[in-house]
Amino acid sequence: MAKVKTKQCFYCVNNIPHVDYKDTDILRKFVSSYMKIAPRRRSGLCAWHQRKVAGAIKQARIAGLMAFVPR
C-alpha cells in the first residue's frame, strides 16, 4: 500500500487492445515462477487487461503453449 507511483498497464502503454494467447513471451511476464498468474499489484495491469491476460494464459495452457506447472 506504500507504493505511490503505480506502474502503468503494459498493454495500455503499448496500445495493444487485444491480448493474444499466442504471445507467450509477453504472457510469461505475468506469471510467477510457479506459473501462477500474477496478482494485479505485481503485473501492474489495469482491471480490464488483467482479466484478458488471465483468460489468455488459461487459453495458452490449454493450447499447450504454456505449462500448468513449472518443469
> Taking the complex as a whole, how short is the minimal distance between the CB of residue 70 and Zn ion, in angstroms?
27
Nearer to Zn ion, 53 or 66 (CB): 53
Of the candidates 32, 33, 52, the one whose C-alpha atom is nearest the C-alpha of residue 42 is 32
Kindly state whether residue 46 participates in binding Zn ion, applying the rule CB under 5 A: yes
Select the residue interacting with Zn ion from 21, 31, 43, 49 (CB under 5 A): 49
Kindly state whether residue 12 participates in binding Zn ion, applying the rule CB under 5 A: yes
Q: How many CB atoms lie within 10 A of CB 5?
A: 5
DSSP 42-67: HH---HHHHHHHHHHHHHHHHTTSS-
Using CB under 5 A as the criterion, which residues of the chain lie in contact with Zn ion when the complex forms? 9, 11-12, 46, 49
